[in-house]
């Protein structure tokens, strides 16, 4: 199954992350491992989207949201550039 830090532990031995927040994710419950036997959790984003996320991605901060955060930051950058006249000829 893997060592304690690999994220590949069995159901019998794992840290339950249910109820914890990681960025915009709220962990709902532990779900079955993915096809590579990595520990997965069902999470809900602040925007309302629900999806499966790897435990190691939550703990390391790689996964902060369902993608809505990335979209919001990109929109802010575009609006700023537009206001500065970056898109005018």
**What pLDDT is attached to residue 35?**
94
Q: How open is the CA angle 63-34-44, to the nearest 5 degrees?
A: 40
**What pLDDT is attached to residue 2?**
46
* 19 band by pLDDT with thresholds 50, 70 and 90: very high
pTM for the whole thing?
A: 0.71
On whether the CB atoms of residues 39 and 8 are closer than 8 A, the answer is: yes
> Would you call 15 helix, strand, or coil by DSSP?
coil
Percentage, residues of the chain above pLDDT 70: 84
> Would you call 24 helix, strand, or coil by DSSP?
coil
């Amino acid at each position: 199954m893997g060592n304690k830090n690999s994220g590949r532990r069995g159901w019998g031995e794992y840290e339950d992350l249910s109820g914890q927040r990681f960025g915009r994710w709220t962990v709902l419950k532990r779900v079955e491992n993915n096809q590579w036997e990595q520990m997965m959790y069902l999470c809900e984003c602040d925007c309302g989207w629900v999806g499966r996320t790897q435990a190691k991605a939550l703990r390391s901060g790689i996964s902060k949201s369902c993608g809505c955060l990335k979209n919001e930051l990109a929109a802010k950058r575009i609006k700023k550039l537009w206001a500065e006249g970056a898109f005018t000829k």
